[in-house]
Structure 1
C-alpha cells in the first residue's frame, strides 16, 4: 500500500479550509500534515498541527499545498512550495498581475494548478462548452449565472471562465447575472439558432463539491512534472 500523500492546507480557518480539513480526514490516501492560518489559538486540533502564516518555514515536509487564502498570503505559500519542491493547488482569487506572473514562473519548477472553481462538474462543462462552440459556428451564445444575494462580483469568475472556453471554440458569449436567496451556484450556457437551442447547465447544491475537487486535484497533481495544469487536465 502506498504511503498517503502529505497535504498542507493554507487558509485553514476559512470556510473552504474547514471543509478541506473535514473531507480530507475521511480519506485514507491523504494525510494533512499541517494547517496554516493567519492566527493560531491551538497548536493541535483533531490531531493536525497548526501553524501561523508567518511560520511557514517551520512546517513539516509536504507533497502538495492546497491554498484557499487571500492575495496577501499567496506569496508566502508559493515560496514555501518552491523551497520544498512541492506542488500547489490554489483557489485564491484576486491575484495581481505580478502574482499571476510569479505563478507562471513557478510552474517551470513545480507542478501547479489554479482555478476559480474546483467543481469537477464545471471542469467537464468547460470542455463541453468549447466543443459545442466549435461545432455550432454562428450560433448565439449566452451565459446566465445565478448566485446568492451576498455575492458581489458579476459575472462570476466561473461564468467568465466558461466564456473563455466558448471563445476558444469561436463563439462570442454574452452574460447575464442573477443574485437571489441562498443559491450556491448555477451556470447555464445556451447556444441558440433558428428553430433550435442547446443548453448546458451545472447546478451546485453544496459547497463541499469545491473542497472535494481541490482534494482530487491535489491527489492527481502529486508526482507530476513541473508545469501549469488545468483542473480538467487532472480528471483522469
Structure 2
C-alpha cells in the first residue's frame, strides 16, 4: 500500500489529510513539530506538507536526501522559499500550490481564460474570506487567482496589484488587479473574482465548505506525483489542463 507522509499530522489539515488518504485507499504516517522528518521521508512514498513556512527547508532537505517527492500546500511562503523549492526540484518531483482544491484549480483556469479575453477596461478584483485564525493575507488562493489573471493579461502581478486600501487612496488604477481580505468565524475559504466594466459585471466564485476538499486534492496530487521525474509541477497538470 502506498504510504503518504503527512508533515504536521495533528494539525487542522493533517487530520483531514489522514482521512483523505484512507478514503483513497492509501496508507499514511506523520510527524509534528520536533518530529523525525528524515525518518518520515524514509518511510513514506511521498510527503504532503501543510505545516508552516519555517519548517519547509528541513522538509525539502529530507525529501532530497531520501529521493522522495513532495506536495507543498503551505501558504505564506516568501521568495526564498520558492528558491529552495526550485533547487529541490532539480533532484525530486515537487508540486507547490496555494490551493490543492480541484475546484479552485479549475477556477484559476477559467480566470486566466476570462482575463485573456477581457481587456484592461474590465477591472479585476479578488475578494477572499477565511476563518479568524488565518495569519496571512491575501490568502494563497487569492494570490494564485491573481497570478492566473495576470498571466491571462500578460502582466506582472507584483507590479500591477492593489492591496489594503485605506483612507483617501485615489481612483483605482487602470489595469490593476485588486485584493480584499476578510476574516471571521470558521469560514474554510470563500473566493470571488470580479470582472467589472461599465454597466456589467462577471463574478467567478468558489466556496469551500470544509477542509476535506483541500485534503482530497492534495492526496490526488501526491499519488499522481509519485512516478514523476524531478521538476516543479502544478495542480493544473494533475487535472491535465
Q: Quick check: TM above 0.5?
A: yes
Structure 1 contact 89–217 (Cα < 8 Å) conserved: yes
Structure 2 contact 5–40 (Cα < 8 Å) conserved: no
Structure 1 contact 82–109 (Cα < 8 Å) conserved: yes
Computed over aligned residues only, the root mean square deviation of the Cα atoms, in angstroms, reads 2.0
Unaligned runs of 5+ in 2: 154-174
Per-residue deviation at 1:231? 1.1
Q: 2:101 aligns with which of 119, 122, 140?
A: 119
Q: Distance in 2 between matches of 1:124 and 1:208?
A: 17
Q: Distance in 2 between matches of 1:103 and 1:157?
A: 16
Q: 2:87 aligns with which of 87, 99, 105?
A: 105
Q: 2:146 aligns with which of 163, 188, 191?
A: 163
Structure 1 contact 186–202 (Cα < 8 Å) conserved: yes
**What SS does the aligned partner of 1:149 have?**
coil
Higher mean alpha-carbon deviation, 219-228 vs 75-84, is at 75-84
User: 2:60 — aligned with what?
Assistant: 78
Matched, 1:199 2:226: no
User: 1:141 — aligned with what?
Assistant: 124
Matched, 1:26 2:23: yes
Q: 1:11 aligns with which of 1, 8, 12?
A: 8
Considering Cα pairs closer than 8 Å and 6+ residues apart, tell me whether 1 or 2 has the greater RCO: 2
Q: 1:174 aligns with which of 161, 174, 178?
A: 178
Q: Deviations over 1:65-103 (max 9, x none)?
A: 111222332222212211221111012233443332121
Q: Distance in 2 between matches of 1:61 and 1:108?
A: 22
User: 2:158 — aligned with what?
Assistant: none
Distance 1:104 1:174, change over 3 A: same
Distance 1:77 1:155, change over 3 A: closer
Structure 1 contact 189–199 (Cα < 8 Å) conserved: yes
Structure 2 contact 97–234 (Cα < 8 Å) conserved: yes
Q: How many residues align?
A: 218
* TM-score of the aligned structures, taking structure 1 as reference length: 0.84
User: 2:31 — aligned with what?
Assistant: 36
* TM-score of the aligned structures, taking structure 2 as reference length: 0.82
Q: Deviations over 1:3-52 (max 9, x none)?
A: x3332111112111111112212222x222x311125xxxxxxxxxxxx2
Unaligned runs of 5+ in 1: 40-51
Distance 1:109 1:59, change over 3 A: closer
Distance 1:80 1:151, change over 3 A: closer
Q: 2:192 aligns with which of 188, 197, 202?
A: 188
Distance 1:77 1:179, change over 3 A: closer
Structure 2 contact 90–231 (Cα < 8 Å) conserved: yes
Q: Distance in 1 between matches of 2:135 and 2:3?
A: 35
